[in-house]
Amino acid sequence: MNIFETLALPNGISIPNRLAKAAMEENMADQHYAPSSALFKLYQSWADGGVGLIITGNVMVDYRAMTGPGGVVLENDSHLEAFKKWAEIGRSKGAQFWMQINHPGRQMQSNLGQATWAPSAIPLDLGKMSDKFDTPIEMTQAMIEEVIYRFAHTAELAEQAGFTGVEIHAAHGYLLSQFLSPLSNQRKDQWGGSLENRARLLIEIVKAVRLVVSKQFAVAVKLNSADFQRGGFSADDAKQVVQMLNELPVDLVELSGGSYEAPAMQGQARDGRTLAREAYFLEFATEIRKIAKMPIMVTGGIRRKEVAENVVASGVEMVGIGTALALEPDLPNAWKSGKNDAPELKPIQWKNKALASVANMSTVKYQLKKLSQGKATNARISPLWALILQQCAMMKRTKQYRKAMQSST
């Protein structure tokens, strides 16, 4: 088995090869929070680059709940034509193109001016940066039902637009991940307590999505292999959730890990564990592979062909690549032609881990912006300079978002 073999999914569709462009947050929506011309150009570079599967960055299911002020939102059909164009570009060279759909829960910055929702009224613990996020509102039954409807409706619209699947984001500390974790979910009702209860929202959303999309439309789930926080969502919990998903028509599970509080998806852990430099979550993935009925994809730090081949050789079906494709979107074609390119960013070794995490995301977004402008990427960019540029851009987008929200009320 090699990384350029096709993969048949449970719903009968095939992915042309085992390499996926994993989700990266771009914050490049247009003024209507629909896909922009910059996003079109960016995704054309990945479509041309040779991956078998392209997964979008966060597409929000609620305009009031954003992971970033420039995020794409799909909650109605007002700008469906722009989404159709995006889907056409993503599929233009034969790749499967899936929309990652998400709700941030408490991981939405307070300067966006919106009330944040979460399973329990427990704020983020980010040390000196904790004041950037509000204490969330504990969700009512009506709020939970609304979120289920919104995920399903966004998936339905994604299929109408021409996407070939959705990935339900239940990782990285966002809302569904918050429900899964006993640290952030301390509810006493049917949505909290036991793992079965904490996983209920994810399961209900998968069921709701499946009801409104066709059989050939892929439904995937992004799940933390662990939260990397003591007392949080564990690797054993992840195995049990995958067993629950085994009973549903889920076409793929992507394994990652961490959250804003413990950004393990960037190679860092709060509970003292040291993560491998590449394929951070492969050890977890190979364990979950033993019990999963659907294909498994692992994402986290992969940048070398040899590592990608080792992932597939281990039995894990798909290789998710993020940062390396932000630096070199043509990487799959390069590997297929026999090259051993291994793009890498400068490591960030700042003492403030939360700030280092933001700086790392800023350096990635710097590359995405360059690609969206048709310019060369720069792996040696100063993390501090990238952070400053990104913060300036986010300040501008935040003002625009707040103004738009005020005018819509």
- pLDDT exceeding 90 applies to what percent of the chain? 81
* Of 278, 279, 364, 356, the residue nearest 329 (C-alpha): 364
264 vs 119, higher pLDDT: 119
pLDDT band at 398 (very low <50, low <70, confident <90, very high): very high
How far apart (Å, rounded) are the C-alpha atoms in residues 30 and 37?
8
pLDDT band at 292 (very low <50, low <70, confident <90, very high): very high
- pLDDT exceeding 70 applies to what percent of the chain? 93
pTM for this predicted structure: 0.94
- Please write the tens of the pLDDT for every residue from 320-333: 999 999 999 999 99
How much is the mean pLDDT over the chain? 92
Residue 277 confidence (pLDDT) above 70: no
At 131 the pLDDT is: 86
Nearest 10 degrees: Cα torsion 59, 61, 62, 68: -20
Residue 230 confidence (pLDDT) above 90: no
pLDDT band at 282 (very low <50, low <70, confident <90, very high): confident
* Of 213, 177, 26, the residue nearest 103 (C-alpha): 177
Contact of 141 with 201, CB cutoff 8 Å: no
Buried b (16+ CB within 10 A) or exposed e, 348-372: beeeebbbbbbbbbbbbbbbbbbbb
Bridge partners, 256 (sequence order): 224
Q: Residue 99 belongs to what H/E stretch?
A: strand 96-102
Residue 178 confidence (pLDDT) above 70: yes
At 37 the pLDDT is: 98
Tokens of residue 314, six digits:
């281990």
Residue 125 confidence (pLDDT) above 90: no
CATH of 7-408, one of 3.20.20.70, 3.40.50.10680, 2.40.280.10, 3.30.230.10: 3.20.20.70
Residue 24 confidence (pLDDT) above 70: yes
At 350 the pLDDT is: 87
Structural domain spans, the chain:
7-408
Q: Residue 49 belongs to what H/E stretch?
A: helix 37-49
Residue 113 confidence (pLDDT) above 90: yes
E strands, 311-406, are 318-321
- Please write the tens of the pLDDT for every residue from 188-211: 999 999 999 999 999 999 999 999
Residue 226 confidence (pLDDT) above 80: no
How far apart (Å, rounded) are the C-alpha atoms in residues 409 and 404?
9
Tokens of residue 53, six digits:
């599967």
Tokens of residue 343, six digits:
């793009």
SS (H, E, C) 337-401: CCCCCCCCCCCCCCCCHHHHHHHHHHHHHHHHHHHHCCCCCCCCCCHHHHHHHHHHHHHHHHHHH
* Of 43, 151, 24, 154, the residue nearest 97 (C-alpha): 43
* Of 239, 231, 301, the residue nearest 264 (C-alpha): 301
Residue 408 confidence (pLDDT) above 90: no
Positive or negative torsion for Cα 353, 356, 362, 364: negative
* Of 233, 176, 239, the residue nearest 206 (C-alpha): 176
- Please write the tens of the pLDDT for every residue from 254-275: 998 767 766 544 444 333 333 3
Residue 140 confidence (pLDDT) above 60: yes
How far apart (Å, rounded) are the C-alpha atoms in residues 270 and 37?
38
Tokens of residue 39, six digits:
């996003």
At 283 the pLDDT is: 84
How far apart (Å, rounded) are the C-alpha atoms in residues 337 and 317?
21
pLDDT band at 227 (very low <50, low <70, confident <90, very high): low
At 269 the pLDDT is: 39
Distances (CA, A) of 372 to 40, 275, 335: 8, 31, 23
Q: Residue 147 belongs to what H/E stretch?
A: helix 141-161
pLDDT band at 288 (very low <50, low <70, confident <90, very high): very high
pLDDT band at 231 (very low <50, low <70, confident <90, very high): confident
∠ CA 247-241-135, rounded to 5°: 135
pLDDT band at 349 (very low <50, low <70, confident <90, very high): confident
Residue where the block lists tokens 């609620």: 62
At 91 the pLDDT is: 98
